[in-house]
């Protein structure tokens, strides 16, 4: 009898705790869709699931806000103006945004969570940024730990940029063993020295990384990057 009573009490406690967790989650965790109004223009309105960062949400809807650090919060370039729905500014943003700018609604898109309906303002030039799927021409070692990645842009497209400009590369989720890397013999001894072939790169979610252009602007039809 005591054993049965103990099992019943334990089950009741688990059920009560589960109910409390579900109730708290329904209050604290946002679910469902939210609406993001952009520049007060109906044709730019976005309906999207809540929960992601604003930078990722905009990117998923074809709006690519500049972010040299790929969304890490360190470059301070993904500035947007939030009129409603952004919540309180975070400490990670204050190193890039002054108090005056914060009062005007300036925020870092990579640090703002999409939790509710929002009204934001973006510069018009952002809507001209494009996303391409490119063909890999080559990916050769130029130094022990530096690859020169050459990409061919789609036919008819051009990459107008100035010296020092950069692009963002979207890296899909993957799992790659360093042992599968094709390292030339002249650099292989250093890789063996540091026992690098034992490592595995595993990325569970798509990731953005920014790289400076290594080709000069008059080289048409290609993108060249030096990647460490």
The predicted-structure confidence for 86-100, as pLDDT tens digits, reads as follows 999 999 999 999 999
Which has the higher per-residue pLDDT, 167 or 55? 55
Domain boundary among 109, 128, 147: 128
Is residue 8 a part of any domain in this protein? no
Q: Are 68 and 103 in contact (CB under 8 A)?
A: no
Q: From CA 171, how far away is CA 24, in angstroms rounded?
A: 35
Q: How many domains does the chain have?
A: 2
The answer to whether residues 148 and 221 belong to one domain is yes
Domain boundary among 82, 113, 128: 128
Q: Cα 193 vs. chain centroid, distance in angstroms? A: 33
The answer to whether residues 98 and 77 belong to one domain is yes
The CA distances from residue 216 to 9, 70, 138, in Å, are 72, 23, 17
Q: Residues 184, 185, 189, 190: what is their CA dihedral angle, to the nearest 10 degrees?
A: -30
Residue listed under structure tokens 């989650």 = 25
Check which CATH number belongs to the domain holding 153 and give it. 2.40.30.10
Q: pLDDT tens across 115-162, in order?
A: 999 999 998 878 877 888 899 999 999 999 999 999 998 988 887 777
Domain span at residue 208 reads 135-227
């Amino acid at each position: 009898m005591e054993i049965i009573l103990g099992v019943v009490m334990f089950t009741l406690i688990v059920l009560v705790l589960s109910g409390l967790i579900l109730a708290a989650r329904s209050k604290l965790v946002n679910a469902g869709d939210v609406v993001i109004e952009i520049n007060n223009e109906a044709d730019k309105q976005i309906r999207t699931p809540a929960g992601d960062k604003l930078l990722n949400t905009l990117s998923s809807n074809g709006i690519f806000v500049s972010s040299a650090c790929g969304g890490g919060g360190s470059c301070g370039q993904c500035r947007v103006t939030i009129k409603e729905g952004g919540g309180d500014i975070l400490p990670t943003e204050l190193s890039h945004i002054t108090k005056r700018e914060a009062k005007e609604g300036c925020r870092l898109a990579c640090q703002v969570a999409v939790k509710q309906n929002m009204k934001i303002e973006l510069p018009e030039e952002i809507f001209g940024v494009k996303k391409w799927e490119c063909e890999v021409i080559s990916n050769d070692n130029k130094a022990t730990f530096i690859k020169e990645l050459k990409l061919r842009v789609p036919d008819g497209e051009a990459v107008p940029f100035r010296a020092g400009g950069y692009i963002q590369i979207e890296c899909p989720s993957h799992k790659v063993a360093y042992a599968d890397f094709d390292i030339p013999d002249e650099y292989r001894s250093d890789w063996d020295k540091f026992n690098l072939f034992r490592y595995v790169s595993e990325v569970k979610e798509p990731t953005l990384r920014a790289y400076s252009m290594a080709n000069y602007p008059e080289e048409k039809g290609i993108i060249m990057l030096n990647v460490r």
